[in-house]
């Protein structure tokens, strides 16, 4: 699961920062824009997954931006949450008509914001298609999150599971420890390369005699998952 990117559009920097802080603590990537103009180019460049849009903006109103985004086919599916001052119920209607997916009245608690944000993201990102992978009697089923070796369920820790999943969907190719950290641990972690060795070891152990040869050491380079040995 990759981190979602959220764009905050508000002309008041303190508010932006407050929101940005909450979001970053919850592991979202955050972009900020102080004007509709800036917002638009950020959207084109960075393709955020969601926009938090303030209703009151000096130049072009937030409403205008929302309309524009929804009209353009490229950005039409981008979910938008409108922020607005308390009690202005009319705005809510207008905002939703303009294509906003949800609406939050200021002042709001960070907690509420997060909850709504998740709800919107949840219902706009459809589930992926998860396919079962099978190699020589080794079966990985992402749907039930289960791995079995010749029918017998294996006990894998989360990291071992992800590692195996990556290998099974990227067979026959050598990956350096760095690449594995990138792919399995997810981009922005700082861990020792040798840690990979340890997890490889754990995975091999869990796979047992019957399948541990599938994970091969390529000396001086990295590791490879292959049926040929």
CA-CA-CA-CA torsion sign (96, 29, 113, 53): negative
Contact 102, 108 (CB under 8 A): no
| Alpha helices for the chain (secondary structure H) | 13-25, 36-46, 62-71, 89-97, 110-124, 158-169, 177-180, 194-207
Count of H-run helices and E-run strands, the chain: 8, 12
Tell me the C-alpha distance between 36 and 132, whole Å.
Answer: 45
Task: Check if the beta carbon of residue 135 is closer than 8 Å to that of residue 149.
Answer: no
Residues 106 and 86: their CA atoms lie apart, in Å, by 5
List the one residue from 60, 61, 159, 165 that touches DNA (CB under 7 A): 159
Find the shortest distance in angstroms from Cβ 220 to a second copy: 4
Smallest separation, CB 108 to DNA (Å):
14
Instruction: Pick the stretch among 6-14, 57-65, 86-94, 186-194 that binds DNA (CB under 7 A).
Output: 186-194
* x/- letters, 197..216, toward DNA (CB under 7 A): xxxxx--x------------
Instruction: Give the sign of the dihedral formed by CA 197, CA 202, CA 205, CA 211.
Output: negative
Binds a second copy (CB under 8 A): choice among 130, 197, 198, 210: 130
Q: Which stretch binds a second copy (CB under 8 A): 24-32, 39-47, 60-68, 124-132?
A: 124-132
**Residue number with CB closer to a second copy (64 or 72):** 72
Determine the 3-state secondary structure of 205 from DSSP.
helix
CB atoms within 10 A of CB 13: 11
| 154, 207 contact by CB (below 8 A) | yes
HSE, side-chain direction, 13 A CA sphere, residue 224: 13
Residues in 96-155 that interact with DNA by CB under 7 A: 155
CB of 103 to a second copy, least distance (A): 8
Q: Does 40 bind a second copy (CB under 8 A)?
A: no
Q: Is 74 in the site for DNA (CB under 7 A)?
A: no
Nearer to a second copy, 33 or 92 (CB): 92
Instruction: Please report whether residue 144 would count as binding a second copy according to CB under 8 A.
Output: yes
Contacting positions for a second copy (CB under 8 A): 73, 76-77, 89-90, 93, 96, 102, 111-112, 115-116, 118-119, 122-123, 126-127, 129-131, 143-145, 153, 157-158, 172-174, 178-179, 182, 187-191, 218-221, 224, 226, 228
Contacting positions for DNA (CB under 7 A): 155, 157-160, 185, 189-192, 194-195, 197-201, 204, 217-222
């Amino acid at each position: 699961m990759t981190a979602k990117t959220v764009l905050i559009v508000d002309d008041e920097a303190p508010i932006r920062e407050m929101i940005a802080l909450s979001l970053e603590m919850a592991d979202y990537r955050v972009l900020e824009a102080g004007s509709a103009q800036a917002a638009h180019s950020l959207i084109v460049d960075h393709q955020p997954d969601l926009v938090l849009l303030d209703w009151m903006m000096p130049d072009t109103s937030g409403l205008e931006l929302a309309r524009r985004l929804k009209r353009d086919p490229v950005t039409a599916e981008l979910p938008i949450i409108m922020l607005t001052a308390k009690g202005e119920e009319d705005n809510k209607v207008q905002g939703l008509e303009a294509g906003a997916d949800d609406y939050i009245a200021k002042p709001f608690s960070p907690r509420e914001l997060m909850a709504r944000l998740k709800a919107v993201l949840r219902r706009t990102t459809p589930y992926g298609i998860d396919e079962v992978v099978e190699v020589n009697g080794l079966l990985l089923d992402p749907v039930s999150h289960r791995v079995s070796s010749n029918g017998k369920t294996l006990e894998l820790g989360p990291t071992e599971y992800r590692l195996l999943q990556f290998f099974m969907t990227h067979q026959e190719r050598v990956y350096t420890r760095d690449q594995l950290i990138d792919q399995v641990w997810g981009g922005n972690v700082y861990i020792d390369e040798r840690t990979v060795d340890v997890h490889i070891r754990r995975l091999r152990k869990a796979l047992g005699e019957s399948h541990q040869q599938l994970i091969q050491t390529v000396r001086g380079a990295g590791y490879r998952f292959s049926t040929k040995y």
